[in-house]
Chains A and B, each alone.
Chain A
Amino acid sequence: MPESKLVDNLDLDNYKYGFVDSESHVYRTKPGLDESIVREISRQKEEPDWMLQFRLKALKIYESKPMPTWGGDLSDLEATLDEIYFYVKPQEQTERSWEDVPDKIKNTFERLGIPEAEQKSLAGVGAQYESEMVYHSLKEEWASKGVIFDSIEDGLKNHPELFKEHFGKVIPIADNKFSALNAAVWSGGSFVYIPKGVHLDTPLQAYFRVNQEKMGQFERTLIIVEEGAHATYVEGCTAPVYSTDSFHSGVIEIVVKKDARFRYTTIQNWSNNMYNLVTQRAVVQENATMEWLDGNLGSKLTMKYPSCYLVGKGAHGSIMSIAYAGPGQHQDTGGKVVHAAENTTSSIISKSISKEDGRSTYRGLCKVHEGAKGSRSNVECDALLINDTSRTDTYPYIEVDEKQANVGHEATVSKVGDEQLFYLKNRGLSEEEAMGLVVRGFLEPIAKELPLEYAVELNRLIEMEMEGSVG
């Protein structure tokens, strides 16, 4: 059997979340973006004036920044942005009880397996539909310990001081064109606060769904992990398949304080007509650990580089990334670590698979500032190419300003070897099983880190996409 056929059998391209609900929303802005839309979003959310000013300032910055040309092809995006809905309100408020969520939306999430996931050992679940979190709940056990897991809007309403202290500080408005856009029109996302010393032993999960055609989703998440606290956060994303392009541009800001430990897992499985341009960054303080686990399977174009700013002595950052670029897809992903304090350590491991005319790009930065003595960083990238039309690129930026630092980068590119297949077939495996084994083995170092036993949804996705019908 030809190799491409074998990979087809792995079922990597079968998109099971492409179904559509009939449109249902209580409010939406007209397509496109101008100041009146930004004002309207703010008015709908009954925001304090400082937030409106923040949004208006961001809109100006967004308009002044040119479209980036260094990464994926964004030449059609400008036209797309004129046509999409920047704000679609699906219901009046965020529900605490699953029963109160409108049936239509509930059915969608049930098809995606969200309430089941909650029943299985998750600490809390949030679900976003179009522009708003429709549902947010946290187990009583954790709420009583002071853990906050709210929609971002509720975070602003109920914890204004804490919110204002951190919001827009990790990722400033002007960081890039899309962080500015998000700052202008953000809607939905989570506000998470883990108090000092609290160890969440099960993950918090947020789920993002875009249903509306020509929709722009701009969630904004702010996570504060206090000293010595431990937590894990999982996000998943899907959308229906439309003939027109949609747009998702989130901003995730995380503060990991002294001795704390936080893991952020994303399994992005957007439909193949989605632009996914996300800015994710964590500030990591003394002896704290931040881990990004980034799975990019869907979307038309993803540009996403989770980053760790290691600002406290002994801070550690880890980025593990899996990308799958199928036909017509471009995964431009990677990671960024900035060593700005002594004895900080980091590791980036990236694995990608490109199939047919899919293109996967690793783009990363490892920067060691002067004075960050004893810093160590290691970056490893492996790319697997399935067809002769597949493409992979590696662009690792390494900038070292400090003598007492050790930084290394390694990358390999390979195909599934005939010899590997031959050997496995020799041992009695069918060709399909052999192919499955090789691909799984390639992804294993990262796949084993995924919280399979907790996130049911994630589990299903990984099984479906990575392991498919083989083995």
Chain B
Amino acid sequence: MADNSTYHSWLNEKRSHAWSVYQSTPTPTTKSEEWRYTDLAKLFPLEQIILEMGLVDSTQRPNREDLIEETNTAGRIQLTDGLVTNIQVDPAVDSQGVGLDSIQNTTYEKYQEIIRTNLCSHVLPPESGKFQALNAALWKDGVVIYVPKNVHVKMPIRGKHTLSTGNSAVCARTLIIAEEGSHVSYVEEFHSDDFSNKSMVSSSVEVVAHRNASVDFVSVQNLGRGIFFQVAQKSLVHRDACVNTLNVNLGSSLSRLDLNTRLLEPGANSKMLGLYFGDKDQHFDHNTSQDHLAPHTRSDLLYKGALDGNSRAAFRGIIRVHSGAQQSDAYQTNRTLLLSEQARADSLPNLEIEADDVKCSHGSTVGQLDPETIFYLLSRGFSRQQAERLIVLGFLGDVMTKLPHGAFRRVVKNVTDAVEQKLRHG
């Protein structure tokens, strides 16, 4: 077992530094282009929750056991209020040297070096923004996934985040390092009850895919109302590597996603998928960027959503093809269905292109349910409600069909069920 004391003081130093960055970074306002459509002062004044820097002294290692008799899961990790409580790993996967561990209280010392090299530094430093700094200062624990060279983890690793109380700020981190030629997929889910007090859940995700590695990352958020769900995800994609992401936003009152993929070397590739369904007074804000820094790189983004009630969604995406990134393909699509009179959608798909030999396109639409399609379904004997349900599921399902492979059947079903449930209540 590892001696964690020097490691812990190193982590706390990083936290203190992040806290000073947080304090010196102004709270974003709608005057800043990236926060144009989300007025934090109105939707979620930070003063309403207690944000205090406290050094973490927890040394309690999570329970750890073998995962047996579960055929479609490589491992499980459970977090309650941001602390890792349970870890289960398929012994076959464990024996290949695949790491699934707590960041704060690692079971195996060998992961500490990987964390020291990668955490809160070259991927997502606290200087990236106000909330990136906040998370880097206040996180208590998180998930580290390490996949050694040429190891293929066939089945997904599943993470589950739950929240027991309101009126708090829970910050968690995820660090995924895929070594050369490896493959891993991670599915995380966020669940909680509704809270009458304002609460914040913050998640910072750092992904590094080394040469020829591939990482699939799926995040499904179905938190209760009263919560501000704030996410920063950043992926570094090396030569011939691939990082695919799917972000599903269904719950929380306010959700803000900052997603950045950096294609660093030739052959790097990323598929970025998003799905959201808003009702009542939910507010979703997606801020994505695709950076092409090398020739022969490819990115494809598709974000689709439906909005009911008073809900509102903003999408601000940017493709940056940097100088010299010739023969890159970059695509970006955002489509939103408005299901109610009061719903509102804002879309801002940006392009900045500094290389001339590229294939690049973006598209954005905001529209209503097509009356002709509804009419057709009515004429085939469906009720209006059934017809609308079918169209919305078909519209959103389009995103799910682009998931990399069959390992995500359970995710597809869970998301479809959750959407259906929202449709029934809407």
Interface residues on A, range: 35 or more
Most buried by A among B344, B348, B351: B351
Within 8 Å of chain B (Cβ to Cβ): is A198? no
Within 8 Å of chain B (Cβ to Cβ): is A403? yes
Contact B359 A414 (CB under 8 A): yes
Give the segment of A18-26, A383-391, A440-448 that binds chain B.
A383-391
Interface residues on B, range: 35 or more
Within 8 Å of chain B (Cβ to Cβ): is A471? no
Chain B 269-302, CB within 8 Å of chain A: the 1/0 string? 0000000000000000000000000000000000
Within 8 Å of chain A (Cβ to Cβ): is B354? yes
Within 8 Å of chain A (Cβ to Cβ): is B364? yes
Contact B356 A415 (CB under 8 A): yes
Chain B 348-364, CB within 8 Å of chain A: the 1/0 string? 11111111111111111
- Tell me, in angstroms, the Cα distance from A70 to B358 when the chains sit together: 26
Contact A403 B362 (CB under 8 A): no
Known: A393-B351, A398-B347, A411-B351. A406 touches B356 (CB 8 A): no
Residues in B neighbouring A90, C-beta threshold 8 A: none
Contact A388 B367 (CB under 8 A): no
In-complex Cβ contact of A408 among B344, B352, B364 (8 A): B364
Contact B367 A392 (CB under 8 A): no
In-complex Cβ contact of A397 among B338, B348, B352, B353 (8 A): B348
Contact B362 A407 (CB under 8 A): no
In-complex Cβ contact of A407 among B323, B339, B366 (8 A): B366
Known: A388-B323, A404-B368. A409 touches B356 (CB 8 A): no
Known: A407-B366, A407-B367, A415-B356. A395 touches B361 (CB 8 A): no
Contact B349 A409 (CB under 8 A): yes
Contact B368 A391 (CB under 8 A): no
Within 8 Å of chain B (Cβ to Cβ): is A161? no
Residues in A neighbouring B356, C-beta threshold 8 A: 385-388, 390, 415
CB closest residue in chain A, given B354: A391
By DSSP majority rule, is chain A's interface helix, strand, loop, or mixed?
strand
By DSSP majority rule, is chain B's interface helix, strand, loop, or mixed?
strand
Residues in B neighbouring A370, C-beta threshold 8 A: 341-342
Residues in A neighbouring B348, C-beta threshold 8 A: 395-398
Within 8 Å of chain A (Cβ to Cβ): is B345? yes
Contact A411 B361 (CB under 8 A): yes
- Tell me, in angstroms, the Cα distance from A408 to B367 when the chains sit together: 8
- Tell me, in angstroms, the Cα distance from A399 to B348 when the chains sit together: 8
List which B311-365 residues lie within 8 A (CB) of chain A: 323-324, 326, 336, 338-365
Within 8 Å of chain A (Cβ to Cβ): is B372? no
Chain B 35-67, CB within 8 Å of chain A: the 1/0 string? 000000000000000000000000000000000
Contact A403 B368 (CB under 8 A): yes
Chain A 206-234, CB within 8 Å of chain B: the 1/0 string? 00000000000000000000000000000
Known: A400-B344, A410-B361, A412-B360. A392 touches B351 (CB 8 A): yes
Within 8 Å of chain B (Cβ to Cβ): is A405? yes
Within 8 Å of chain B (Cβ to Cβ): is A8? no
Residues in A neighbouring B70, C-beta threshold 8 A: none
How close is B305's CB to chain A, nearest CB, in angstroms? 13
Name 6 extra pairs, CB < 8 A, besides A398-B347, A407-B365.
Answer: A70-B33, A387-B356, A394-B349, A402-B338, A409-B362, A413-B353
Binding site for B on A (CB under 8 A): 70, 368, 370, 383, 385-415
Listed from nearest, the 5 A-B pairs whose CB atoms lie closest are: A385-B356, A394-B351, A398-B347, A413-B360, A400-B366
Binding site for A on B (CB under 8 A): 33, 323-324, 326, 336, 338-368
- Can you name 5 A-B residue pairings with CB atoms under 8 Å? A383-B353, A400-B344, A400-B346, A403-B340, A409-B364
